[in-house]
Amino acid sequence: MKELVNGQVFESLVASRTLKKLRIIRCLGNWDKVLQVNGDGDSSLTEIHLERLQVSDFGLSAISKCRKLETLHIVKTPECSNSGLVCVVERCRLLRKLHIDGWRTKRIGDEGLMALAKHCLVDGGIVRGTFECSAVAWWTTGVAHTSRDPFEG
């Protein structure tokens, strides 16, 4: 779904048990409730892409119940923080690819990356994005493909 004014009317589609990929981009309104209808643990979703949406850690908590999730994009969703990301990586053990663009909000950083390293199989390139992290989190996760290197200026 892209650039819909009232995209929440597709709630039943998002809740479909056979849906594998979900992309919601620049759609108006709060999406937490819509994501919660999908979060009962029986979802077939393997890829979720959320971009420029009003979605918070409550939405990420709902996403964390999608046990088959392998790919997650959280792009320019300023209400998402470490808490939501930690919830996702603790529960979605199949997560292999994660793209985060914190949109200069600095709400996702060390705590989220440390949880990622602890709970997910980190193979080269799992994380891409813009977020604040310390050198400790950087090396602990083994991440080599972020856009912010803590050793640069």
Q: Of 63, 62, 2, 6, give the one whose Cα is nearest residue 30.
A: 6
Q: What is the mean pLDDT of each run of 10 residues along the chain (153 residues)?
A: 80 84 92 81 88 94 92 91 92 87 71 78 56 52 46 41
- Report how far residue 151's alpha carbon sits from residue 122's, in angstroms, rounded to the nearest whole number: 21
Residue 119: alpha-carbon gap to chain centroid? 15
CB 11 within 8 A of CB 27: no
Q: Write down the pLDDT at residue 58.
A: 95
- Report how far residue 100's alpha carbon sits from residue 51's, in angstroms, rounded to the nearest whole number: 10
DSSP state, residue 28 = -
Helix axes 110-119, 82-91, angle to 10 degrees: 0
Q: Give the chain's domains with CATH numbers.
A: 7-141 (3.80.10.10)
Q: Of 69, 73, 67, 40, give the one whose Cα is nearest residue 55.
A: 73
